[in-house]
Amino acid sequence: MSKVKKQLAQYQKLTRIIRDFFYSRQVTEVVTPTLLNAPTTDVYIDSIEVSVNQALSKSSQLYLHTSPELEMKRLLSKGSGDIFQICQVFRDNEQGRINSNEFTMLEFYRVDFTMHQLMDEIAELLAALGKNEPIKKMSYAEVFFEYSDIDILNSDINELKTILNSLDLNSDDEWIEDIQMHLFVHLIEPKLKEIP
């Protein structure tokens, strides 16, 4: 079997397991639009803009979705119930070792699930996919404290800026949430591989 055929078979197996997992729990698979009238509102993600209908003299600018979140939440607001989607998503300025301009995303929503029920379900999905390593559940604040000794939720903006500067991670951010994100990306994300 060729390398490409093996990769295609692996992808097919992966998506089949995911679909079977959600179907067995009565979660409906949906397909939402990829072309949207507006870019993402997430300040950390850049949309890819495309021109359509140029040859028809009715040219307009649309945006490839960066996630199916908005359209799926519209379905939820109309009473769809639990839903999931496996789709291609597109993001500009995403090149690197773990980033790409186009990638496959699983997005799902469970109505009336608690955060802990969602964590348990994700662990069950990972087990269905063959990832049976023990999982350590930690809150955002716990992860920060354990892996950086920062009390992220009780530190004020000046304290967090001082920490950034001490790590040579200067930032012009004026919102505490942006500084927290900056610290998470540079201090915590690299250590996530160590967390079971």
Domain residue limits, the chain: 3-128, 140-194
Helix, strand, coil: what percent of the chain each, to 5?
A: 40, 15, 40
- pLDDT tens for each residue of the chain, 196 residues long: 899 999 999 999 999 999 999 999 999 999 999 999 999 988 888 999 999 887 777 778 999 999 999 999 999 999 999 999 999 999 998 777 777 899 999 999 999 999 999 999 999 999 999 998 888 888 889 999 988 889 999 998 889 988 888 888 877 778 888 889 889 988 898 888 776 5
CATH topology of domain 3-128: BirA Bifunctional Protein; domain 2 (3.30.930)
pTM exceeds 0.85, yes or no = no
Closest Cα to residue 85, out of 129, 19, 14? 19
